[in-house]
Amino acid sequence: MSELAGAVVVVGSLNCDFVTRVTRRPSGGETVMGQSFDLFVGGKGNNQAIACARAGADVSIVGRVGADAFADLIVERLDAAGVRRDHLARDLEAGTGVADIQVDATGQNAIVVVPRANARVCPSDIDAAGELLDRARVVLVQLEIPIDAVLHAAVRAKRAGAYVILNPAPAPAAPLPAALYASIDLITPNESEARSLTGVDARDDEGAEAAGRALLRLGAPRSLLTLGERGTLLVEPSGARRAPAFPVDVVDTTAAGDAFCGALAAQLASGASLERAIAFGRAAGALACTRLGAEPSLPLRAEIDQLMARGGARRALS
């Protein structure tokens, strides 16, 4: 294994996504005709690992898939992206996770996830990847696997000196453990996740800042809210800084947050400042909105650099 191996470690979920495009999503009891159907690889862990690799980082993933054709497809796409998978377990008792995604005419989506093998990721899986985590520069976790595994990974990585990012998605039904907040360096919720975690409505600038400060009171060292077309808001004990979104024509918002997190982690692992990493992540997230599907929408480093160059004025936090 090279000296750079494990520069970023992503601990999380891997799914196959069934994506249907519709003019509008059906209401209860209603049937609508779909316009198209596609099968993509997805899952927040998988998406963020591929996004990070495409953004130029050396990346490893820790998680579980089944012993089925869906797992074969995921492995093929991880290999194509250059993601290391020495600690991707094949679960012989549970199938690969799946997600049903409906995308409407505005590019907004509704998602139903069935975790399957993802629900069986456990602390022993984290311990099996212990050497990898101990050498990581950045560790990125989400909430599509059991919370005890997430906490175990964050605690171990933080103890070893890694920069730990928590993307709290999907929004948890119960409060997060105080020990998890204490074991991260940055939390990256969107509006709905921030509201779920804090009870504060983040749909306007004042509410977003209040939600960000509430996350600090819960124990997060700093919070970075992703606000869609409103850009991002970084809240630290010293103050709050906003940055605008890169304007793009939205086709599908699936995996935009994952593109942001993966690119952010890649830049932090390279030694970039947090300000630079956030700008890079915003550009990646914007590009992901211009394409259909999760994995196909995750941009390459050159594409992110090009958008950054065109939108230079949008880099700064203020």
Residues acting as catalytic residues: 258
**Strand partners for 226:** 190, 232
Alpha helices in 93-203 (DSSP H): 123-128, 130-135, 147-160, 178-181, 191-198
- H or E element: which one contains 271? none
The answer to whether the CB of 132 falls within 8 A of the CB of 60 is yes
CA distances from 146 to 50, 71, 142, 278 (A): 21, 20, 10, 27
- Dihedrals φ, ψ of 293, to 5°? 95, 165
HSE at residue 127, side-chain half, CA atoms within 13 A, is: 4
Dist CA 212 CA 222 (whole Å):
8
- Dihedrals φ, ψ of 155, to 5°? -65, -45
Kindly give, in sequence order, each residue whose CB lies less than 8 Å from that of residue 285, ignoring residues fewer than 6 positions away.
226, 256, 257, 259, 260, 263
Dist CA 57 CA 315 (whole Å):
21
C-alpha angle with apex 115: 111 to 120, nearest 5 degrees?
160
Crossing angle for the helix pair 274-288 and 301-310, to the nearest 10 degrees: 100
Pick from 161, 221, 226, 170: nearest CA to 196 = 170
